[in-house]
Amino acid sequence: MIEFYLKSLFVLLALVVFLFVVNKYIERKRTLASSGIENLKVIPVGSGEKLVIFTYKGEEYIIFSTSHSATLLKSEKKNQT
């Protein structure tokens, strides 16, 4: 009987943690959308290094990011057709 309660408790705890993680993911996506950032792509290129590509107010940005710094590599206006 105690085993059933312990299993139920762990399943409930796992469900709560899962829902918390999903909620944080959805919050992050909403924050990005409300800030005007579109088409966010993060490409890992090394240990702790990332290439980040996104569009902000019609301009595309490419940023190289390490654990200590970020460098703007390219910024160009997208053609609005």
pTM of the model: 0.52
pLDDT at 71: 78
Residues above pLDDT 90, as percent of the chain: 19
Q: Using CB atoms within 10 Å of the CB of residue 26, give its burial: 0 to 12 exposed, 13 to 18 middle, 19+ buried.
A: exposed
Give the model's confidence band at 14: pLDDT under 50 very low, under 70 low, under 90 confident, else very high. Answer: very high
Question: 25 or 29, which is more confident?
Answer: 25
What is the average per-residue pLDDT within 31-48? Answer: 80
Tokens of 65: 């990011």
In 3D space, the residue among 44, 60, 63 whose CA is nearest the CA of residue 52 turns out to be 63
What is the average per-residue pLDDT within 44-71? Answer: 85
